[in-house]
Structure 1
């Protein structure tokens, strides 16, 4: 059986590596800091805006609003406004959003499980940089 040529781009309708491809924008929405955290949080269930903002520690109101709009436009988040007084707006994942979130959560959980390895690598890197910096200053 012939092995695929990994140096050639796959023959796909969309190519995220192409600057003009619309998939690139969606990938950015999904994998950006706030997009990934928003999708991960919404995987837990439906949230109102301020509940979601409290769940995603550190996100500003403006960034969360922009993120939710982008994810809604991409078909990953459903926004439901209740005609109540005061108005109630709930956010939840669409079926496509749920599938994306599950894939993201697999990566998130993998990273959490391997954080000890990452911290060791960071420490080793920082020590090596400090060592090179000290030698460079002396030389």
Structure 2
């Protein structure tokens, strides 16, 4: 390793001699007052549009979107529970009407129960196969 370090130093010295100046001489020639920098073009590769705030009301941030999705899911779940509860009420009333022999009323109540659960196919299947539909 020591020989590699020596070879590297020799290579550095030869390169400095070839170029004609050492680093110290270059820095000595630099004067802050004499420097005049000109920027010809902005070569920044950063996407500047991504940093700008989008004030368009039709768009929203990801966090706001996810929050709205969560609220919507909660609202739909609660609505589904309410509809299922109403369906169960209509179903119980229809079963009582069927036992009393009031078949038209039972059928009407079963139809109301079906309307309440239009998005619950398994419950719909159970109601359709009930006794009042068979007779």
TM bucket normalised to smaller:
under 0.3
TM-score of the superposed pair, with normalisation by structure 1: 0.24
Larger radius of gyration: 2
TM-score (norm 2): 0.25
Which is bigger in relative contact order (C-alpha 8 A, separation at least 6)? 1
When you count strand as a share of all residues, which structure comes out higher?
A: 1
Q: Which has the higher helix share?
A: 2
